[in-house]
């Protein structure tokens, strides 16, 4: 019997990459307006190349970008980039359609809910707070709690231990087959792939269910 649903955060509950791309475009425009002599598209590609190396959550990515392209950090350019990024971030960080109504319905069914995220603790909680979702979750496990990224067993085990529920009584919902689905299946959880937010190929990893919309969870639960 299903007793709990655990969610990944970015690209599962939150349309994270939409926010990231638009914020970065604004930051690059601000850098160019402040004296960066680089075409917008070239700078965008370089920035995301660095994200690929240092991680999408890197808080000093603009410093690394400027060191890479200029040889040193120009603080006039940096400050304008950070300001532009933050201004757009606040406007575009939003949950996917039907997230709130789906969480309400799951709660009404008596299911316990949780989040297992690779984001640092403060950033994960801030994102939930900005979307007014903090009260829905019994458990929130972040990178700071275990020091390990999914698909390591540790983040999943931390959530299981906090819930005090057997893995087979938990459904895990995530957008990344290699991290979310593979990691949850390894511990014996049921899994649902958030196709609406998927950015990485499945590479042979198959979830028990696929969701075209988070509201599809209600159909899955009813089965």
- Does position 90 have pLDDT exceeding 80, yes or no? no
Which residue from 168, 16, 151, 4 is spatially nearest to 89, judged by alpha carbons?
16
CA 155-160-166 angle, to 5 degrees, is 140
Q: The domain containing residue 49 runs over which residues?
A: 17-92
pTM score, whole prediction:
0.83
Contact 142, 22 (CB under 8 A): no
How many domains does the structure of the chain reveal?
Answer: 2
Say whether both 100 and 172 belong to one domain: yes
Q: What is the mean pLDDT of residues 185-189?
A: 97
Supply φ then ψ for residue 119, to 5 degrees.
-75, 150
Say whether both 123 and 164 belong to one domain: yes
**Residues 6 or more apart from 99 whose CB is under 8 A from it?**
13, 131, 133, 214
Give the 3-state secondary structure percentages of the chain, helix then strand then coil, rounded to 5: 55, 15, 30
Per-residue confidence band for 223, with pLDDT thresholds at 50, 70 and 90 = confident
Say whether both 156 and 200 belong to one domain: yes
Instruction: For 151-160, write each residue's pLDDT tens digit.
Output: 999 999 999 9
* Strands 209-211 and 4-7, sheet pairing: unpaired
Say whether both 213 and 155 belong to one domain: yes
Per-residue confidence band for 176, with pLDDT thresholds at 50, 70 and 90 = very high
Say whether both 73 and 137 belong to one domain: no
Instruction: For 38-87, write each residue's pLDDT tens digit.
Output: 999 999 999 999 998 887 878 899 999 999 999 999 999 999 999 999 99
């Amino acid at each position: 019997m299903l007793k709990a649903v655990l969610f990944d955060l970015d690209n599962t509950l939150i349309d994270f990459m939409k926010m990231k791309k638009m914020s970065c475009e604004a930051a690059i425009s601000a850098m160019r307006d402040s004296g960066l002599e680089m075409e917008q598209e070239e700078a965008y590609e370089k920035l995301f190349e660095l994200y690929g190396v240092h991680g999408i959550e890197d808080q000093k990515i603009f410093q690394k970008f400027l060191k890479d392209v200029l040889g040193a950090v120009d603080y006039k350019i940096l400050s304008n980039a950070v300001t532009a990024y933050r201004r757009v971030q606040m406007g575009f960080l939003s949950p996917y359609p039907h997230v709130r109504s789906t969480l309400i319905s799951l709660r009404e069914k008596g299911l316990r809910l949780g989040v297992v995220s690779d984001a640092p603790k403060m950033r994960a909680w801030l994102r939930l707070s900005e979307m007014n979702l903090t009260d829905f979750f019994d458990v929130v496990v972040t990178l700071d709690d275990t020091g390990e990224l999914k698909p390591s067993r540790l983040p999943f085990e931390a959530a299981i231990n906090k819930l005090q529920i057997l893995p087979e009584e938990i459904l895990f919902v995530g957008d990344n087959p290699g991290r979310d689905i593979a990691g949850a299946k390894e511990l014996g959880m049921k899994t649902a792939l958030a196709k609406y937010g998927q950015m990485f190929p499945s590479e042979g990893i198959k979830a028990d269910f696929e969701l075209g919309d988070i509201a599809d969870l209600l159909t899955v639960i009813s089965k």
